[in-house]
Amino acid sequence: MPDTRERRWRGLDRLDARNKAPRSLFIALLLASATLITLDYQGGPDSAMEPARRAVGEAFGPVESVTAAVVRPFTSVPSWLRSQGALSDEIRDLQAENSALRNEVETAGFDRNRLESYDGLTQAAQDLGQALVPARVVAFGPSQSFSNTVTIDAGSEAGIGPDMTVVNNDGLVGRVLRVTRSTATVLLVTDTESIVGGRVGSSMEIGFVHGRGTLADNGGLDLRLVDDAVVPAEHDTVVTWGSTGGPYQPGVPIGEVTEVYSSLLETSQRAVIKPFVNFSALDVVGVMVPTGTTSDRAVVEADGALR
């Protein structure tokens, strides 16, 4: 009898030792996490974690691209059911044409003002003379991480570098944060960290467009105008203000004003912008690169030709 009892105790003992999470290891890992956070937070854009990010990105990027390519036929099944074969092609063409026309209308005010404004035709031609590198979105950052970022399947080999403007045929998508050889991470304009210089197309007033961190269609963006005397009108189009050194190219449509708030406490007007881009269904995007960039794929030149 004592024998069996002892064996049972020993057994329990062993199980106990296996189950008990070792406090020392737990605390060591907590400290390691805190160290990572401190390193990354203090370092900012050139933190010690950037090389690690890049290395992990080089490994995960191609895997994400392949996975996205594998699941794409399945995720597009619903649209196949709605519109088969040629019909779906036709709809896509019409949608592209529609977007192009809408863009033209949206930026008409801005363009007219632009032509009249001092920097003139040549500057506008230079600014808009951008080539596009086409890419597809292969991975989305989860909303649980409270940031709106995506991975695209074009990287430094396609001629993409940090701070380049990313658009699709509806308007501004975001900017490139960092690149690996075959992928790039894009910060969407809806991210709470994202601030874009915006200009109201009809009045040429400038302001800053802040992301609100949500992908919901009505979530939108916030526009704060620099001049608090100006009230943007509803349905005014907002385009990027842009600068030669900064990340965003000028004249890219961002969205339209849906609501305007002004309060005595706030020093500037706050308008809610509904983005033209549907961020929860991003697929094909273009990265604006200087003309003549060497790329591993066909580049859409400023005049619409493929190169």
Partner 1 sequence: MSRARVLVALAAVVVALVLQVSLFPHLAWQGIVPNLCLLVVVAAALTIPAPSALLLGFAAGVALDLAPPADHVAGRWALALTVVAFLAARVRQDVRPTAVAVVATVAAASFIGTSIFALTGLLLGDAWSVAELLQVIVVAVVWDVLLTPFVLPPLMKLFGRLDPQRMTA
Query: Which residues would be at the binding site for partner 1 (CB under 8 A)?
Result: 15, 18-22, 25-26, 29-30, 32-41, 49, 52-53, 56-57, 60-61, 63-64, 67-68, 71, 75, 138-151, 177, 180, 183, 185-187, 191-193, 213-216, 280
CB 76 to partner 1: min, Å: 9
Contact criterion met (CB below 8 Å) for 219 and 253: no
Smallest distance from partner 1 to CB 72, Å: 9
CB 135 within 8 A of CB 153: yes
Query: Who's near 155: CB < 8 A, 6+ residues apart?
Result: 61, 179, 180, 181, 182, 183, 184
Q: What stretches of the chain adopt beta strand conformation (E)? A: 130-140, 149-152, 165-168, 171-179, 184-188, 195-200, 206-211, 221-225, 237-240, 253-261, 270-275, 284-290
Comparing CB distances to partner 1, the nearer of 51 and 85 is 51
**Token pair of 198 as six digits:** 């915006």
Evaluate whether 142 touches 225 at the Cβ level (below 8 Å): no
